[in-house]
Amino acid sequence: MSGTVGERLPSQTVVPASQHGGLKKMPPYWYPYTTMAKERWLGREILEIVSTEFRDRSMEYYRYALESGVTTINGKVAKPDTIVRNGDRIENVVHRHEPPVTAKPVKIIHHDKDRDFLVINKPGSIPVHASGRYYRHSLVELLRNEFGFEKVYTINRLDRLTSGLMIIPLNADLARSLTDEFMKGSVRKEYIARCKGEFPEEEVICEEPLLTVDRQMGLNIVHPEGKPAKTVFNRLRYDANTDTSVLRCRPFTGRSHQIRVHLQYLGHPIVNDPVYSEERIWGPNLGKNGIDVEPNSERFPPTAPEHLKTDDSPESLATVPKPGGNSNGGTDNTNEVPQGVKLLPRETGHDIGMGSPVPLSTEAVDIITRLRNMKDEDEDWSRWRDVVFRAKGALMPKSFRRAPPLPSPNKRKRGGRSILEPIAADDNESSGQGVSPGDLTSTAVAAALGENQSTSPVQVSFHDNTVLSEAVAQLTLHEAASRLTSLVVPEPATDPTGTLYCPECYLPLHPDPKPEKLHIFLHAFRYELSLGRFETEMPNWAKEGWEWER
């Protein structure tokens, strides 16, 4: 049966997460992944694509990473100006620093072994699927690694910050059948929310259309060009001590952030929603009755906070030193601007709206800008402090080389995980038993060696015959598996300014979030469908008179 727990091969073993102060934390690790070129990427340079799709690192860092050779297209090393074409297979190696999630466990409410499905209660802060910086902290991977369910089908999704009930088939046939039920709207869903203010006692129906206007930030607004959406709200109680209301919410459609945006539009956003209930983003009106949607093409370059303003910003490729330093290992401080240099969308501010299906208004652009700035501030402006790598060598996972170039297009495997192969100083002596970077942290492996750490150089070969040498260790697969429980990640390094950064990928580090900031007061409480009626316990924050730290 698909839902049974099977033995895991040593190469599939993962370094376990640890728990600290209500958070579950994963050591950073190298991870190779593969994707096929998306339609919106075609005909664009890879640096422009990477810098507009992702915002975790600075513009200069993305150029540096590409020039280090960590990305290949169809098996050949990609450079920053490589153009992406239709049918391209893009492979990338990243050093993942997964954000912490809540230490509250995923609860299995019901496991129907005969009909082959699960009913679970997902804590807030855990994304359903791997996306962005999340992989092993996603629900799918947690069910796989902590519960042993090798194949699950997530037919209904909850936002990362939303907690509550999910129905998860364990075979494809049931998944198709239940997907059809959700698509037809025959599944009855009921959520619980705590919103700002005194919500009306009578039933309120909101049918405003919703539109996703920024893919990076996941921002949705009420817009006449949006998709139809309908939510019915009923007040359960009003708590005068906190000036908040507990609601029953019944969505009849399944749009992204539907309940959150509809409540914001009604003037009663979810009280602790970090996006739709934040004055720093929306102003004192908090988006009540929607925003202006009159298109405006004017954009402005992003600006650093006052304490980080410099003529040498890592967010501008036209004025920064060349990555990698000079031949003496120092930094090349000549800030020459090449003649005819082309500024990328992220440098001019035109990346805002690139993912929107409609032209954005000035108000929408301002909201997205403030949302981005707030996220940067919450992460201690790490993008603007992202300069340590300038004095370092090329970025590359240690002890690994890429698999051979791809076969002809009609014989390629589409999508899936990339593969890196271990490489020793002498290929003839290599046993091929190295540790997969997708399964063990390279920093942890090196630390586990202690006094036995090898100092023989290991070469990393690119397909263009470029070779990087690094004095690193290599464990056999069996050695690594036997040491999993004792692996320790090295302490972060510090630059001369006191900034903590990762010693492998040079990511500026910032403090962990507080556990109470990792969820919102929105909970999937009850589902009724062909399999039956299922519900969870009422969340603590829905209790009468409940108070919390604000």
* Residues annotated as part of the active site: 159
What's the CA gap between 450 and 81, in Å, rounded?
Answer: 41
- For residue 136, count other CB atoms closer than 10 A to its CB: 22
CA atoms within 13 A on the CB side of 111: 13
Q: Give the separation between CA 138 and CA 120, rounded to whole angstroms.
A: 14
Where on the phi/psi map is residue 542: left (φ > 0), alpha (ψ -120 to 50), or beta?
A: alpha
Neighbours of 460 (CB within 10 A): 22
DSSP letter for each residue of 373-428? HHHHHHTTTGGGG--GGGGS-----TTEEEPPPP--GGGPPPSS---EEE--SSGG
Q: What is the DSSP letter of 462?
A: -
CA angle 3, 160, 177 (to 5 degrees): 40
Neighbours of 30 (CB within 10 A): 27
Q: In terms of Cα–Cα distance, which of 430, 447, 458 is closest to 488?
A: 447
Q: How far apart are CA 518 and CA 147, in angstroms?
A: 23
Q: Which residue has the tokens 């088939």?
A: 169
Closest CA to 524 of 543, 548, 542: 542
Helix (H) or strand (E) holding 110: strand 107-112
DSSP-assigned letter for residue 157: -
Helices (H) and strands (E) in the chain, counts: 10, 24
- DSSP H helical ranges for 246-340: 258-265, 279-282
Query: Do residues 203 and 234 make contact, with C-beta atoms less than 8 angstroms apart?
Result: yes
Q: Identity (one letter) of the amino acid at 204?
A: V
Phi, psi of 26 (to 5 degrees): -110, 130
* Dihedral of the alpha carbons of 433, 419, 438, 215, in degrees to the nearest 10: 180
Return d(Cα 345, Cα 313) in angstroms, integer. Answer: 16
E-only strand ranges, 435-499? 457-461, 467-471, 493-494
- Tell me the β-bridge partners of 508: 501
- The Cα 393–Cα 234 span in angstroms is 59
In contact, 246 and 239? CB cutoff 8 Å: yes
Non-local (6+) Cβ contacts of 89 within 8 A are 34, 35, 36, 37, 73, 74, 75, 406, 412, 414
> What angle, rounded to 10 degrees, do the helices at 46-53 and 59-68 form?
130
